[in-house]
């Protein structure tokens, strides 16, 4: 019996029946709805918003939240598989789902009061309200503690001034989760995007995540009532807690992108005749393909253990850093290598590797750059903060 080239250790057999079912459902959606259009979306710089209703109806938004808030009560491993299968289509689709689920619904669920949860979560799970997450500012995303955006209390209201940069879903969103300095530390606010003084400006000329909306947010004397403040967290641990959730999903997502590139290139190498034999018959092509299979297998084992730890309530942020660093690096290396094996054909979006490679330039940068995650691990093992 020959092995599955994209799962040499049969990691799939370690999944429960429910987990395998979620993977199959999202895989079908990606194959039938995403892959036929995504190359054109990337070329046109267009996020396929028409897919939102089906993404929502499949239960992929806020999937891990309880059903009373519109979630599907899924496990961390199931959420990871959703990210993996979406990103097999395109990082932009996974980004959309990550931001909605982990960066917008999660903080309302974890730090919001009951009224806020009831007001927003069911409609966000249904895809009727889209969120964006404003943490990064133009002067230094790696160091969010240095944010300049400020919220000042004025009677029963808050007045927010500042700006945010590189915000996924910014021009799609009806609400923004905005993190701002206050006299009492960093706090989070739910800002409806039609509030006077709030504006979003889409960022163009991107060569990465072209099938995703990325924006700058501007807050000019934005006045919101105290009922829009997330009451149950203060300090940097608020946004960083959201990042742990999103980064967890991003440890799984790039495996999907890597598998897409690898399988397409494997098939191409078997077909492509050079010097009278298939390219796949050359030692150097085989070594490259074997190395991809090895790295994908290790990444699959890494995230499954991470997911099991998360489901057991034992996962810590440093473990997420290790996996985000490893799996983004694995995927971008594979995407670039696949582009090379495709030769000239690899430079167009007729084949997926260049699209995935360009997308992964963002994925390896956002949610903590590769260096940030290396330094998190460095700090953990040496006990010395080198930031």
Residues with catalytic roles:
367
Q: What is the 8-class DSSP label of residue 10?
A: -
Written as six digits, the tokens of 149 are 């955006």
Tokens of 4: 């599955």
Residue choice 244, 326, 327, 359 for contact with ligand TGC (CB under 6 A): 244
Q: How far is the CB of 369 from ligand TGC (least distance, A)?
A: 7
- Size, binding site for ligand FAD by CB under 6 A: 21
Spatial distance between the Cα atoms of 386 and 283, rounded to a whole number of angstroms? 42
Selected from 237, 270, 277, 294, the binder of ligand TGC by CB under 6 A is: 237
Q: Report if residue 285 touches ligand FAD, rule: CB under 6 A.
A: no
Residues 206-235 binding ligand FAD (CB under 6 A) are: 209, 214
Q: Crossing angle for the helix pair 237-271 and 317-341, nearest 10 degrees?
A: 30
What residue 236 binds from ligand FAD, ligand TGC, none (CB within 5 to 8 A, per partner kind)? ligand TGC
Residue 141 within binding range of ligand FAD, rule CB under 6 A: yes
Smallest Cα–Cα separation from 195: which of 177, 169, 230, 221? 221
The CA-CA-CA angle for residues 196, 202, 208, to 5°, reads 150
Minimum CB distance to ligand TGC, residue 33 (Å): 20
Identify the residue among 70, 112, 141, 254 touching ligand TGC (CB under 6 A). Answer: 141
How many positions of this chain bind ligand TGC (CB under 6 A)?
A: 27
What's the CA gap between 202 and 171, in Å, rounded?
A: 6
Q: Which of residues 290-329 bind ligand FAD (CB under 6 A)?
A: none
Closest-CA residue to 102 (of 133, 148, 144): 133
What whole-number distance in Å separates Cα of residue 89 and Cα of residue 256?
8
Binding ligand TGC (rule: CB under 6 A), the pick from 11, 203, 240, 280 is: 240
| Whole-angstrom distance, CA of residue 42 vs CA of residue 354 | 11
By beta-carbon proximity to ligand TGC, the closer residue of 71 and 249 is: 249
Do 279 and 269 form a contact (C-beta atoms < 8 A)? yes
Cα–Cα distance measured from residue 375 to residue 202, given in angstroms and rounded to the nearest whole number: 32
Residue 167 contact partner, candidates ligand TGC, ligand FAD, none, CB within 5 to 8 A by sort of partner: ligand FAD
x/- track of binding to ligand TGC for residues 72-111 (CB under 6 A):
-----------------------x--xx------------
Burial class (CB in 10 A: 0-12, 13-18, 19+), 8: middle
Q: Note the residues at the interface with ligand FAD (CB under 6 A).
A: 99, 133-136, 140-142, 166-168, 209, 214, 362, 365-367, 369, 371-372, 387
Residues that bind ligand TGC (CB under 6 A): 95, 98-99, 133, 135-136, 141-145, 168, 235-237, 240-241, 243-244, 246, 317, 366-368, 372, 376, 387
């Amino acid at each position: 019996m020959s092995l599955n080239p994209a799962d040499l250790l049969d990691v799939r057999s370690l999944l429960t029946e429910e987990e395998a079912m979620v993977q199959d459902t999202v895989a079908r959606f990606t194959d039938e709805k995403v892959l036929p259009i995504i190359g054109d979306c990337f070329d046109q710089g267009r996020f396929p918003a028409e897919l939102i209703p089906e993404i929502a109806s499949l239960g992929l938004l806020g999937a891990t939240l309880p059903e009373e808030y519109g979630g599907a009560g899924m496990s961390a491993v199931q959420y990871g598989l959703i990210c993996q299968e979406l990103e097999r289509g395109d990082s932009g689709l996974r980004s959309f789902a990550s931001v909605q689920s982990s960066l917008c619904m999660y903080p309302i669920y974890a730090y919001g009061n009951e009224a806020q949860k009831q007001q927003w979560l069911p409609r966000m799970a249904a895809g009727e309200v889209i969120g964006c997450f404003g943490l990064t500012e133009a002067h230094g995303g790696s160091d969010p503690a240095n944010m300049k955006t400020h919220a000042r209390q004025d009677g029963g209201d808050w007045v927010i001034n500042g700006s945010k940069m590189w915000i996924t879903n910014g021009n799609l969103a009806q609400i923004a989760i905005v993190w701002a300095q206050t006299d009492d530390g960093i706090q989070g606010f739910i800002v409806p995007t039609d509030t006077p003084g709030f504006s979003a400006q889409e960022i163009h000329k991107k060569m990465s995540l072209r099938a995703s909306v990325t924006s700058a947010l501007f807050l000019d004397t934005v006045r919101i009532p105290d009922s829009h403040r997330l009451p149950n967290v203060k300090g940097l641990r608020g946004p960083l807690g959201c990042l742990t959730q999103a980064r967890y999903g991003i440890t799984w997502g790039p495996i999907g992108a890597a598998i897409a590139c690898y399988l397409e290139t494997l098939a191409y190498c078997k077909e492509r005749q050079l010097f009278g034999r298939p390219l796949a018959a050359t030692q150097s092509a085989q070594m490259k393909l074997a190395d991809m299979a090895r790295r994908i297998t290790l990444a699959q084992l890494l995230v499954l253990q991470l997911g099991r730890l998360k489901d057991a309530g034992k996962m810590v942020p440093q473990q997420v850093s290790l996996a985000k660093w490893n799996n983004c690096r694995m995927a971008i290396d594979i995407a670039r290598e696949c582009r090379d094996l495709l030769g000239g054909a690899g430079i167009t979006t007729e084949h997926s590797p260049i699209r995935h490679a360009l997308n992964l330039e963002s994925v390896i940068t956002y949610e903590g750059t590769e260096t940030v995650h290396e330094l998190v691990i460095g700090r953990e093992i040496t006990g010395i903060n080198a930031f």
